[in-house]
Amino acid sequence: MSIIEKAAGKLGQKKVEVTPLPEIKAKSLNNPISKAHDALGARTPDRQIQKRVEINLTQLHHLGMVTPDQGKTLVAEEFRLIKRPLIKNAFNQGAGPIKHGNLIMVTSSLPKEGKTFCAINLAMSIAMEMDHTVLLVDADVARPSVLRTLGLKSETGLMDILLDDKLDLADVMLKTNVETLSILPAGKSHKHATELLASQIMSSLLDEIANRYPDRIVIFDSPPLLLTTEASVLASHMGQIIMVVEAETTTQHAVKDALRQIETCANINLVYNKAKAFPGGNYYGYY
Ligand SMILES: Nc1ncnc2c1ncn2[C@@H]1O[C@H](COP(=O)(O)OP(=O)(O)OP(=O)(O)O)[C@@H](O)[C@H]1O
Ligand SMILES: [Mg+2]
């Protein structure tokens, strides 16, 4: 039994799903300039969003990440497994109705376990579905890295909306060259970021996001749970949480502490990331 399975067991009867995700080897980057465009074609474009950015899909593919057009890669197959139950729950096709089921946070105990890697791959994988649109939110406001990883320059975003009530979501959201994927950047850093994320304005904003875009899945890339309080504040608003656990690195103690901080959420899924080999034959375990 792996450490995350043991830790999950300690949570009592709560159902926790565990998915192993292997370490993905990046390829050498021959052609960093991408003219790639969304192979899925334009579908219900978000008309209110003004800004448009071009994600470097070729670079992303060479980094070993999920991109449209690349067929059956190992990472794409893994994220296909990870997203299935999340999509079901988001649209209440699971066991029962989930409040804000379409709001999904990706978090972990400690830095560098793969939160941003998983958040981007998950967002891209869901955006490739025929009938789902995705909003990827960089909620790691102290150390944002979604835009950088996607090869984009920093932009105004979440923090700016929280600080300026004249700004609308659509003013800062970014449409991308993957027609079904838009991004809400973290925006400018602020010394009271935690208080802002815990504020009533943030709570109303999350309600607005969940209700204004009920057909959209919203993925939040978050800071680590054990080093900040932002992540647990955010967790209290989420319908579903993905907790990334780094294989052979994160201790059982850290996993248990982190799970305790998000126990208000009834739908927690664990991803066993950077696994060198799959532990056992089963992809999913219920505890
Ligand atoms: N399954 C994987 N296979 C290969 N590389 C991975 C995998 N998961 C993460 N990485 C790499 O590990 C590094 C850390 O990942 P990432 O930035 O996603 O972590 P993080 O948890 O978001 O870190 P932080 O807490 O600093 O925000 C990155 O270089 C990323 O590309
Ligand atoms: Mg990160």
Cβ–Cβ under 8 Å, residues 232 and 223:
no
Of the candidate CATH numbers 3.40.50.970, 3.40.50.300, 3.30.559.10, 3.40.605.10, the domain formed by 86-275 belongs to 3.40.50.300
Residue whose CB lies within 8 A of the most ligand 1 atoms, among 61, 77, 115, 117, for a mutation test: 117
Task: Give the number of other CB atoms < 10 A from CB of residue 126.
Answer: 26
Q: Check if the beta carbon of residue 155 is closer than 8 Å to that of residue 147.
A: yes
Report how far ligand 2's centroid is from the alpha carbon of 116 (Å): 4
pTM for the predicted model, two decimal places? 0.84
Helix axes 74-90, 115-127, angle to 10 degrees: 70
Question: Quick one: which atom of ligand 1 is closest to the CA of 120?
Answer: 18
Could you list the pLDDT tens digit for every one of the 287 residues in the chain?
Answer: 444 444 445 444 455 677 778 776 654 433 222 222 222 222 234 446 789 999 999 999 999 999 998 778 889 999 999 999 999 999 877 667 788 999 999 999 999 999 999 999 999 999 998 788 999 999 999 899 999 999 999 899 999 999 998 998 899 999 999 999 999 999 998 888 888 888 888 999 998 888 888 889 999 999 999 998 889 989 999 999 999 999 999 999 999 999 999 999 999 999 999 987 654 443 333 32
Cα of 157 to ligand 2 centre, how many Å?
16
* Helix locations, the chain, DSSP H: 3-10, 57-62, 74-90, 115-127, 146-149, 158-163, 169-172, 193-197, 200-212, 230-235, 252-261
Query: From the CA of 113, how far away is ligand 1's center (Å)?
Result: 6
